């Protein structure tokens, strides 16, 4: 706030020069001459003759002649006014005539006309700034306040005028209007940025980039769409999902490193880590599964099926030879009966738990074949076989594989869920009874 004041010298200090006529013998206080005719009496009692009043310079403030005047800037002041005159807060010149009272923040200034016209003040604290005002026309700040101003996160300039503030988990982000309108926007957080990454046409800021999920096959950060597979925590980019060869066990895209089996199959490193390749190991697992079924479900095999541990081409050749097995997709095991001889076929190279599940599934078919009269629907037979495999996995606490089975929505999955519903209502005995009856 600026307030204008006008100093009227002779009125505001109430000093008057009184002309009078000589009535008695006296002398001029300046020249010492005898006073004749008109003379002037000063407030301090001194006398001034007409000649001295005409020749002596006058005080710029009080207007009285004085033999001792001090030059102060453009003003001449008598000794008394030199002591009493109010001065400009900034330049120190005496305030004669107009002056301004300026209040900015906690600061109060009394300014001469020149300083009032040329001085800029800090827009925050009100401190008077040296030098001319900023030519930009915007608010100006002292060095201390400028150092405390927020800065634009993009151009790093101090935010002297309006700005945009974005709330983030890591605190507020401030951006000037210019950078906010012309900068790229992060696809993930939506904030403007200058330094970032271009991933398949999607722009990502440097803060979000380290947090992006990575494709499990190519390790490229994924910005937008991710692809996943039931029962797996892995995620994949669109390119790998579409272009890479899938694992012949789990169906997920293969990474740059994978296991190539002798029969032409390729399996991912995760599946290959526990893959059962040795026949002796597979036969030991088969024996263990038979015992588990007897213990858990009281499933007995008077004539135990023979066990065949084969590669994929051999398994597929058996399917081609048996018309009833054709049309199956991704077959990993078979139960076969030829006359009185039965056998369970399991393909080599499956992960250990998957191998156990396939063995239990095919043994369930063998049990149905030995204990149930007549043909049952595929929904019933496959649903029962999946339920048996699930119970074995449950005993092994194979949560991941159990979750995969629960997410299946095909005929196998529907039949399996029917068996779970029966178990919940009638227990294991109810499922065993239902396995032999479509009614």
pLDDT cut 70: percent of the chain above it: 89
d(CA 392, CA 326): 27
Whether residue 7 is predicted with pLDDT greater than 70 in this model: the reply is no
- Domain-located, residue 6: yes
For residues 261 and 287, membership in a common domain is answered with: no
**For residue 37, what pLDDT band results from cuts at 50, 70 and 90?**
confident
Q: What is the mean pLDDT of the chain?
A: 84
- Domain-located, residue 351: yes
- CA separation (Å) from 360 to 370, 398, 421? 15, 14, 20
How is 64-88 classified by DSSP, letter by letter?
-B-S--EEETTEEE-HHHHHH--B-
pLDDT for res 398: 92
For residues 237 and 289, membership in a common domain is answered with: no
Residue range 126-185, pLDDT digits in tens: 888 876 554 456 777 787 777 778 888 888 888 777 788 888 888 888 898 888 888 899
**What's the CA dihedral at 121, 124, 125, 126 to 10 degrees?**
20
pLDDT for res 339: 85
Residue at a domain's end among 45, 66, 84: 84
Average pLDDT over residues 362-377: 89
Whether residue 380 is predicted with pLDDT greater than 70 in this model: the reply is yes
- Domain-located, residue 115: no
For residues 429 and 284, membership in a common domain is answered with: yes
**For residue 27, what pLDDT band results from cuts at 50, 70 and 90?**
confident
For residues 261 and 291, membership in a common domain is answered with: no
pLDDT cut 90: percent of the chain above it: 40
When divided into structural domains, the chain yields a total of 4
For residues 21 and 44, membership in a common domain is answered with: yes
pLDDT for res 303: 87
For residues 387 and 420, membership in a common domain is answered with: yes
H or E, element range at 176: strand 171-176
pLDDT for res 16: 40
- Domain-located, residue 155: no
pLDDT for res 28: 87
For residues 251 and 303, membership in a common domain is answered with: no
Average pLDDT over residues 5-27: 48
Whether residue 278 is predicted with pLDDT greater than 60 in this model: the reply is yes
How is 318-360 classified by DSSP, letter by letter?
HHHH-GGGTT-SS--EEEEEETTEEEEEEETT-BHHHHHHHHH
**For residue 286, what pLDDT band results from cuts at 50, 70 and 90?**
very high
- CA separation (Å) from 354 to 109, 262, 274, 327, 362? 87, 19, 10, 22, 12
For residues 189 and 268, membership in a common domain is answered with: no
For residues 251 and 288, membership in a common domain is answered with: no
Higher pLDDT among residues 397 and 46, named by residue:
397
For residues 300 and 340, membership in a common domain is answered with: yes
Tell me if 276 sits within 8 A of 356, measured CB to CB: no
- Burial of 208 from C-beta contacts in 10 A (0-12 / 13-18 / 19+): buried
pLDDT for res 20: 52
Whether residue 329 is predicted with pLDDT greater than 80 in this model: the reply is no
- CATH number of the domain that residue 309 is part of: 1.10.390.10
Higher pLDDT among residues 230 and 199, named by residue:
199
Residue range 296-312, pLDDT digits in tens: 999 998 889 999 999 99
- CATH number of the domain that residue 65 is part of: 2.10.110
- Domain-located, residue 158: no
For residues 248 and 384, membership in a common domain is answered with: no
Any residues with CB less than 8 A from the CB of 276 and at least 6 apart, and which? 282, 285, 348, 349, 350, 351, 352, 355
Q: Show the domain range for 202.
A: 163-211
**For residue 389, what pLDDT band results from cuts at 50, 70 and 90?**
very high
Of residues 156, 110, 162, the one with CA closest to residue 139:
162
Residue range 237-262, pLDDT digits in tens: 999 999 999 999 889 999 999 999 99
In the numeric block, which tokens belong to residue 333? 């095991």
Residue range 90-117, pLDDT digits in tens: 888 888 778 888 888 778 888 888 888 8
For residues 422 and 286, membership in a common domain is answered with: yes
d(CA 274, CA 262): 17
């Amino acid at each position: 706030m600026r307030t204008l004041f006008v100093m009227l010298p002779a009125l505001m200090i109430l000093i008057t020069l009184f002309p009078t006529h000589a009535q008695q013998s006296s002398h001029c206080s300046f020249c010492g001459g005898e006073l004749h005719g008109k003379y002037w009496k000063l407030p301090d009692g001194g006398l001034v003759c007409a000649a001295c009043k005409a020749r002596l310079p006058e005080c710029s403030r009080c207007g009285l002649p004085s033999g001792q005047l001090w030059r102060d800037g453009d003003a001449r002041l008598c000794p008394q006014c030199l002591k009493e005159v109010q001065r400009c807060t900034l330049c120190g010149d005496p305030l004669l005539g107009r002056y301004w009272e300026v209040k900015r923040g906690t600061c109060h200034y009394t300014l001469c006309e020149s300083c009032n016209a040329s001085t800029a003040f800090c827009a925050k604290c009100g401190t008077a700034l040296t030098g001319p005002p900023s030519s930009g026309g915007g608010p100006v700040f002292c060095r201390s306040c400028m150092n405390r101003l927020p800065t634009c996160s993009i151009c790093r300039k101090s935010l002297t005028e309006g700005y945009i503030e974005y709330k983030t988990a890591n605190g507020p982000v401030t951006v000037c209007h210019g950078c906010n309108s012309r900068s790229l926007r992060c696809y993930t957080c939506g904030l403007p940025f200058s330094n970032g990454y271009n991933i398949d046409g999607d722009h990502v800021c440097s803060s979000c980039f380290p947090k992006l999920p990575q494709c499990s096959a190519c390790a490229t950060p994924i910005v937008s769409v991710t692809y996943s597979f039931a029962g797996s925590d892995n995620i994949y980019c669109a390119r790998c999902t579409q272009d890479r060869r899938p694992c012949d066990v789990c169906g997920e895209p293969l990474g740059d490193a994978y296991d190539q089996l002798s029969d032409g199959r390729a399996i991912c490193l995760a599946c290959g880590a526990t893959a059962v390749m040795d026949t002796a190991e597979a036969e030991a697992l088969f024996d263990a599964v038979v015992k588990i079924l007897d213990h858990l479900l009281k499933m007995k095999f008077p004539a135990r099926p023979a066990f065949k541990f084969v590669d994929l081409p051999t398994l597929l050749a058996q399917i081609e030879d048996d018309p009833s097995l054709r049309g199956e997709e991704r077959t990993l095991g078979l139960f076969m009966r030829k006359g009185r001889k039965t056998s369970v076929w399991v393909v080599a190279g499956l992960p250990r738990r998957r191998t156990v599940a396939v063995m239990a599934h095919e043994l369930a078919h063998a049990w149905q074949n030995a204990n149930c009269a007549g043909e049952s629907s595929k929904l019933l037979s496959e649903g029962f076989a999946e339920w048996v495999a699930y119970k074995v996995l449950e005993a092994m606490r194979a949560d991941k594989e159990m979750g995969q089975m629960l997410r299946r929505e095909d005929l196998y999955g529907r039949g399996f869920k029917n068996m779970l519903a029966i178990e919940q209502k009638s227990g294991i005995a109810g499922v065993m009874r239902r396995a032999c009856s479509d009614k």
